[in-house]
Amino acid sequence: MTQGPTRRTVLLATGAAALTAGCSEYGDESSSSEVSVGTPGQELAATADIPVGGGTIFKDQQVVVTQPQEGEFKAFTSICTHQQCPVANVTGGTINCTCHGSKFSITDGSVTKRPATQPLAEKKITVTGNSIRLA
Residue 76 lies in a domain: yes
Asked whether residue 20 is assigned to any structural domain, the reply reads no
Identify the CATH number of the domain in which residue 109 sits. Answer: 2.102.10.10
Please check whether residue 17 lies inside any domain of the structure.
no
Concatenate the DSSP letters of all residues of 46-111 into one string.
EGGGS-BTEEEEEGGGTEEEEEEETTEEEEEESB-TTT-PBP-EEETTEEE-TTT--EEETTT--E
Q: Does residue 94 form part of some domain? A: yes
Q: How many domains in the chain? A: 1
Give the pLDDT band of residue 3 (cuts 50, 70, 90): low
| Stated pTM of the model | 0.72
Helix (H) or strand (E) run with residue 118 in it: none
Examine residue 38 and state whether it is found in any structural domain, yes or no.
Answer: no
**Alpha carbon distance 124, 40 (integer Å):** 9
- 51-97 pLDDT tens trace: 999 999 999 999 999 999 999 999 999 999 999 999 999 999 999 99
| Distant-in-sequence contacts of 68-71, Cβ < 8 A, 24+ apart | 68/93, 68/106, 68/107
Residue 5 belongs to a domain: no
Instruction: Confirm whether 14 is domain-assigned.
Output: no
Q: Is 70 exceeded by the pLDDT of residue 1?
A: no
Count the Cβ atoms, other than its own, within 10 Å of residue 54: 18
Q: Which domain holds residue 120?
A: 43-134
| Cβ 106 vs Cβ 119: under 8 Å | no
Average pLDDT score, the chain: 83
Let me know if residue 31 belongs to a domain. no
